[in-house]
Amino acid sequence: MRDFLVVLLEAPLASFGEEAGNSQRGTANRPTRSSLLGLVGAALGILRSDVEGQKKLSRSLSTSTRTLSSGVLVRDFHTYESIPQAKGSFMTRRQALGSGEAITSITQREYRSGGVWQAAYVAGPATGQDSLSLELLADAFLTPKFTLWLGRKSCPLSAPVMPRIIAAESLAQAFHCHAEQVGRAAGFGEGVIFTDNNGLLPNSKVPLRHNRRNDEPLNRSTWTFIGRDEWEFMTTDETDSGHDHKSPTVTR
């Protein structure tokens, strides 16, 4: 048995950017690892500028997701102003805009409307200052230091995250138990789970795919990310919900 901290993520709009760009900013159909770690950082009150604090989150936690509803893809456009590098640099935004050199451009952005996801966190082995307890994270999600949002500040959550620490034999069992606890078990059925830790897969499961995603935060102050591994697998039968094994339990 292993402890999982599982939360519910629901918002009218969500956006999980993977490839940065000025004119086109798309969204993944599920939370990125950087967005899941960002939620924890916001709940704990860890600033983006706190490089060591952000690294500790990355080193200490494995993250996984299950999609209850991927929502509907929505496209919007925004305008932004910039100064060509050839025009020189300015000390303030006011100076830049007052120079008459600003160029207005349009960028298209994508969102997921009406999406609902579960996210699971697993703490790594305690290694001194890198240790991070799931109990501490659960308390932080109940009383977050900063506002929680799904990907962008324009995407606040629409429902409590309802954190539960669940002792289960597998990731699939933990998700199923959490769904029952928070009233989302209806129609749970088949589904795809994504995880950055293949050790959380049930012994009977063979991953559908091994993916590479460029969403491991390297430095949040400079918005730089690196690649990481992700495993994808399907939940289909009763063994995923613990019917044929020792049933999962909610520890708090």
Q: How far is CA 208 from the centre of its chain?
A: 21
Please indicate, yes or no, if residue 101 is contained in any of the structural domains.
Answer: no
Please indicate, yes or no, if residue 78 is contained in any of the structural domains.
Answer: no
Please indicate, yes or no, if residue 100 is contained in any of the structural domains.
Answer: no
Please indicate, yes or no, if residue 165 is contained in any of the structural domains.
Answer: yes
Question: Nearest CA to 150 among 120, 113, 122, 182?
Answer: 113
Please indicate, yes or no, if residue 174 is contained in any of the structural domains.
Answer: yes
Query: Is residue 241 within 8 Å of residue 176, measured between CB atoms?
Result: yes
**Residue 219 DSSP SS3:** strand
- pLDDT of 248 reads 75
Residues 6 or more apart in contact with residue 91 via CB below 8 angstroms: none
Beta strands 191-195 and 249-250 are unpaired
- pLDDT of 82 reads 72
Domain that holds residue 197: 2-70+113-250
- pLDDT of 242 reads 56
- pLDDT of 183 reads 85
- pLDDT of 239 reads 46
pLDDT by residue for the chain (252 residues), tens digit each? 889 999 999 999 999 987 666 677 889 899 999 999 999 999 999 998 888 888 888 888 999 999 988 899 999 887 777 776 666 677 776 777 677 777 787 888 899 999 999 999 999 765 455 668 899 999 999 999 999 999 888 899 999 999 999 999 889 899 999 999 988 876 666 678 999 988 887 665 667 788 888 888 878 777 788 888 998 888 765 445 554 456 677 777
Please indicate, yes or no, if residue 104 is contained in any of the structural domains.
Answer: no
- pLDDT of 21 reads 60
- Total domains in the chain come to 1
Partnered with residue 43 across adjacent β-strands are: none
Please indicate, yes or no, if residue 64 is contained in any of the structural domains.
Answer: yes
CA atoms within 13 A on the CB side of 14: 26
Residue 173: which CATH number?
Answer: 3.30.70.2660
Please indicate, yes or no, if residue 137 is contained in any of the structural domains.
Answer: yes
